[in-house]
Amino acid sequence: MRFIVSARQLGFSVDDIGLMIKEAQRGKSACPLVREMIVARLAETEAVFKDMNTLRGRMKKAIKEWEAKPNKAPSGDMVCHLIENFIGKQK
């Protein structure tokens, strides 16, 4: 059970853990597979982190820009001028 808990804490999925256990049941070391998987998981995590950090920056910029802007009632195609005027300013 300790193996499963530790693997989950490192971000391995239940399917990943199953593959590791199968490798061990075949009498093979699961370590090469684990190393390969953790490198892949880190790359995935880094990409998500980068995207979230970009989104965070965009949100902070929106909050700062919108602080002094008035509320407006919708008109025609406009739902919320804050969002509609923000589009296209993304880096």
Tell me if 19 is assigned to some domain.
yes
CA distance 55 to 51: 6
| Local confidence band at 89 (pLDDT 50, 70, 90 cut-offs) | low
**68: in domain:** yes
Is the model's pLDDT at 91 over the cut of 80? no
22 within some domain: yes
Domain range for 50: 2-86
Residue 91 forms part of a structural domain: no
Could you give the C-alpha distances from 17 to 2, 8, 23, 44, in angstroms and in order? 12, 8, 10, 17
Share of the chain above pLDDT 70, in %: 95
Top-confidence residue, 58 or 87: 58
- Predicted TM-score (pTM) of the model is 0.69
Q: Is residue 39 part of a domain?
A: yes
Task: Evaluate whether residue 55 is within a structural domain.
Answer: yes
- The answer to the question of residue 20 being in a domain is yes
